[in-house]
């Protein structure tokens, strides 16, 4: 059974939000009518990116940022372009959008 994350219209353009799911914590970012979904795990130390709830973007709302050591990640492909994990990437979470609702796709691995 698919796990619902949120309504599509609950997302704002270029604002990251996180949601708990059976596949782990998922960061969603809406950009140019696409929704990007990444595991909330920094490849540097394997910990969450944010210090405060839903503070995932840099001040220009262009990159996802890790608050711990300032790594910057491209929203579209999760690639780290600056910081201690330069060249590594966030892990994608497969999602599907149906009737205006965003779900973790059934193919996503689950964690207990």
- In the complex, least distance from residue 39 CB atom to ligand FES, rounded to whole angstroms: 13
Of residues 41 and 105, the one with the C-beta less far from ligand FES = 41
- In the complex, least distance from residue 88 CB atom to ligand FES, rounded to whole angstroms: 10
* Residue corresponding to tokens 């795990």: 41
- List interacting residues with ligand FES (CB under 6 A): 42, 44-45, 47, 66, 68-69, 71, 83-85
Of residues 68 and 74, the one with the C-beta less far from ligand FES = 68
**Tokens representing residue 14 in the block:** 């270029």
- In the complex, least distance from residue 43 CB atom to ligand FES, rounded to whole angstroms: 8
Strand locations in the chain (E): 3-7, 17-19, 26-31, 34-39, 63-65, 72-74, 80-82, 95-98, 101-104
């Amino acid at each position: 059974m698919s796990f619902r994350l949120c309504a599509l219209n609950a997302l704002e353009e270029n604002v990251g939000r996180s949601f708990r799911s059976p596949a782990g914590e998922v960061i969603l970012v809406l950009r140019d009518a696409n929704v990007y979904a990444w595991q909330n795990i920094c490849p540097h130390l394997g910990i969450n990116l944010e210090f405060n709830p839903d503070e995932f973007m840099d001040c220009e709302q262009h990159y996802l940022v890790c608050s711990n050591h300032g790594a910057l990640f491209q929203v579209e492909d999760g690639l780290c372009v600056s910081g201690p994990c330069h060249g590594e990437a966030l892990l994608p979470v497969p999602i599907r959008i149906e009737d205006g609702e965003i779900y973790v796709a059934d193919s996503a691995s689950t964690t207990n």
